[in-house]
């Protein structure tokens, strides 16, 4: 891999031991990936704050080292956003009454906040959510090079913003402001290679969740140009991206007229001829819906909403559905810490609490490795959370219902799953 003089100096240790260690990772990673060079990040980095902010443990920058850097006044080179915390994951807001361990332990919460302090001192913006891109107040623009680290978020960078991001956000890319230039950083890899025509009218949020899964499953890791999906809301794009990256791994796509690199269908294919074309219809959505309803027991113990972390409109919807009602099942509603504050101000946190649910931020049962209220039957409106959860609790058996937000709220209130394909 080609390195310029400045990069060589970092690698030979002239810029300090930590910088050298970071550069060593970027070079080894770039060579393994087949990158020709590094690119300067002019967009943003996101990292998962916690004890491990590096992907490969051989190149680990320890908390002690990060503390030393922070104490010396060192800063991240580029705008850096704190994604949901991992290693360990923790609930940022609303953990006090969750009743599960270790999340309800005040000492655990305090320790987790302590761990991420040095990262904040170095300039990491503690948004602490997988939907950081909805509320971070700063985003990359079209063409800017980034290093992100969230499968449901990466297409927000590539497709929705037209920025250029691989799934590799980490301490090293934030500290040096560089990342190997391959895959989504290179124009030729961003061109559509398959046309996906939506053959059904997508209306509900669930439609987009299922459609995303169906497209992901069909195209795998290809770059699709997707047509006829109507005018999705932001909530629906978030859900579609999440589905795309559970059913498959679609880090870039085009929707002519919606995504910036595809003003037209011809532009999506960069004037190359479209060789493959597939259609996704109502039957595909139904098949995935049935696969996700991995359950037979109708007595729902636990309802989880907010994967990816809910925006304020989704919280509002839940609060209105719950207003004046009482839940029979445990209910967690997960959002990002910014929207949590807004929801508190609007009284929604209190509404949800009065109904017996909890509004929370910053985590999910998945990232908490299956930590949830005692349950053998769960319901959720998120295809992603639903599908992973049975693996997270392995070998414990878990029934997982899937449906609309309304079906899930109904299950929380009545304690019974009464959803169904409509």
Residues that bind other proteins (CB under 8 A): 28-29, 32-34, 55-58, 149-151, 166-168, 182-183, 216, 220-221, 245-249, 251, 291, 294, 366, 369-370, 384, 387-392, 394
8 A C-beta contact, residue 128 and residue 92: yes
Q: Shortest gap between Cβ of 317 and other proteins (angstroms)?
A: 26
Question: Distance (Å, rounded) from C-alpha 164 to C-alpha 187?
Answer: 9
Range list of β-strands (E), 188-256:
194-198, 224-227
Query: Among 278, 339, 330, which Cα is nearest to 308's?
Result: 339
12 exposed, middle or buried (CB, 10 Å; 0-12, 13-18, 19+)? exposed
SS3 state of residue 82: strand
From the centroid of its chain, how far is CA 128?
Answer: 11
Q: For residues 178 and 317, which CB has a smaller minimum distance to other proteins in the complex?
A: 178
Q: Shortest gap between Cβ of 332 and other proteins (angstroms)?
A: 17
Q: For residues 166 and 336, which CB has a smaller minimum distance to other proteins in the complex?
A: 166
Q: Shortest gap between Cβ of 36 and other proteins (angstroms)?
A: 14
Q: For residues 155 and 357, which CB has a smaller minimum distance to other proteins in the complex?
A: 155
Q: For residues 214 and 413, which CB has a smaller minimum distance to other proteins in the complex?
A: 214
Q: Shortest gap between Cβ of 233 and other proteins (angstroms)?
A: 24
Query: Among 350, 313, 356, 311, which Cα is nearest to 334's?
Result: 311
Tokens 């796509």 belong to 253
Q: For residues 140 and 366, which CB has a smaller minimum distance to other proteins in the complex?
A: 366
CB burial string 181-196: b at 16+ within 10 A, e below: bbbbbeeeebbbbbbb
Question: Distance (Å, rounded) from C-alpha 341 to C-alpha 360?
Answer: 10
Cβ neighbours of residue 320 closer than 8 Å, sequence gap 6 or more: none
Q: For residues 363 and 413, which CB has a smaller minimum distance to other proteins in the complex?
A: 363
Q: Shortest gap between Cβ of 280 and other proteins (angstroms)?
A: 17
Q: Shortest gap between Cβ of 386 and other proteins (angstroms)?
A: 10
Q: Shortest gap between Cβ of 121 and other proteins (angstroms)?
A: 25
Q: For residues 83 and 351, which CB has a smaller minimum distance to other proteins in the complex?
A: 83
Question: Distance (Å, rounded) from C-alpha 182 to C-alpha 179?
Answer: 9
Q: For residues 161 and 398, which CB has a smaller minimum distance to other proteins in the complex?
A: 398
Q: For residues 142 and 221, which CB has a smaller minimum distance to other proteins in the complex?
A: 221
Query: Among 70, 76, 83, 82, which Cα is nearest to 177's?
Result: 76
Q: Shortest gap between Cβ of 184 and other proteins (angstroms)?
A: 8
Q: Shortest gap between Cβ of 183 and other proteins (angstroms)?
A: 5
Cβ neighbours of residue 266 closer than 8 Å, sequence gap 6 or more: none
């Amino acid at each position: 891999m080609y390195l310029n003089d400045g990069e060589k100096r970092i690698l030979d240790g002239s810029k300090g031991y930590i910088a050298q260690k970071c550069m060593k990772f970027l070079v080894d990673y770039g060579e393994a990936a087949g990158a020709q060079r590094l690119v300067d990040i002019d967009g943003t980095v996101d990292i998962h704050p916690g004890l491990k902010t590096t992907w490969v443990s051989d190149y680990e920058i320890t908390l002690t080292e990060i503390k030393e850097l922070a104490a010396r006044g060192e800063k991240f080179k580029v705008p850096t956003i704190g994604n949901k915390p991992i290693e360990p994951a923790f609930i940022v807001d609303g953990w006090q009454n969750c009743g599960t361990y270790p999340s309800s332990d005040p000492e655990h919460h305090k320790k987790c906040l302590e761990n991420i302090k040095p990262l904040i001192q170095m300039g990491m913006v503690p948004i602490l959510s997988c939907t950081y891109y909805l509320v971070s107040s700063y985003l990359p623009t079209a063409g800017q090079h980034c290093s992100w680290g969230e499968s449901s978020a990466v297409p927000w960078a590539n497709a929705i913003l037209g920025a250029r991001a691989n799934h590799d956000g980490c301490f090293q890319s934030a500290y040096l402001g560089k990342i190997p230039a391959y895959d989504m950083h290179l124009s030729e890899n961003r061109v559509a290679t398959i046309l996906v025509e939506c053959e059904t009218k997508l209306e509900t949020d669930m439609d987009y969740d299922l459609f995303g899964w169906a497209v992901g499953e069909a195209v795998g890791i290809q770059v699709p140009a997707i047509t006829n999906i109507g005018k999705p809301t932001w909530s629906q794009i978030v859900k579609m991206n999440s589905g795309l990256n559970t059913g498959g791994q679609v880090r870039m796509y085009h929707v002519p007229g919606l995504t910036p690199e595809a003003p037209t269908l011809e532009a999506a294919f960069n004037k190359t001829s479209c060789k493959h074309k597939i259609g996704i219809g109502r039957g595909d959505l139904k098949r995935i819906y049935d696969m996700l309803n991995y359950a037979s027991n109708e007595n729902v113990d636990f309802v989880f909403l907010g994967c990816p972390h809910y925006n304020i409109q989704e919280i509002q919807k839940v609060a209105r559905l719950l207003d004046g009602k009482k839940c029979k099942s445990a209910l967690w509603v997960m959002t990002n810490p910014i929207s949590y504050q807004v929801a508190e101000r609007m009284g929604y946190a209190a509404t949800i609490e009065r109904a017996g649910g909890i509004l929370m931020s910053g985590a999910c049962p998945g990232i908490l490795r299956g930590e949830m209220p005692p349950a053998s039957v769960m319901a959720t409106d998120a295809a992603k959370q639903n599908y992973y959860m049975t693996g997270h609790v392995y070998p414990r058996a878990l029934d997982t219902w899937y449906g609309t937000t309304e079906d899930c709220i109904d299950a929380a209130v009545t304690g019974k799953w009464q959803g169904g394909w409509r």
